[in-house]
Amino acid sequence: MLLAGTMPVAMAQTTLQGPMSAPAQGTESPVPAERVLAEGEVRRIDPATGRVTLRHGEIRNIDMPPMTMVFRAADPALLANLKVGDRVRFAAEKVGANFVVTYVELRN
């Protein structure tokens, strides 16, 4: 996987998100331009099903107003360090009929 030729390219792309990213770029990248983080509070965790209930603020990338709802975790490991009452910042995406948490970090 660690081909010497591909590594610098991947790294360069991640650093190009700022002022330089706009004009020349086409539609080639399947990766979202930026990760939009929403704020939330953990209300319930169900490790067995990989689901987490969050009371969340506005989630701009999926046009969702604040509410309390259940998300599926993209990876159960995302829930491993969480406990009820934790305040978090997270990223969510709509996948089919489900809303999926793709990233979580604790917020103090």
Give the residues lining the site for Cu ion (CB under 5 A): 64, 67, 69
**Residue 23 to residue 6: CA distance in whole angstroms:** 23
Q: Long-range contacts: 26-35, Cβ < 8 Å, 24+?
A: 32/61, 35/91, 35/103
Give Dmax over CA atoms of the chain in angstroms. Answer: 46
| CB nearer to Cu ion: pick between 69 and 74 | 69
| CB nearer to Cu ion: pick between 16 and 67 | 67
**Smallest distance from the beta carbon of 64 to Cu ion, in angstroms?**
4
**Residue 106 to residue 52: CA distance in whole angstroms:** 14
**Smallest distance from the beta carbon of 55 to Cu ion, in angstroms?**
9
| CB nearer to Cu ion: pick between 17 and 107 | 107
**Smallest distance from the beta carbon of 40 to Cu ion, in angstroms?**
9
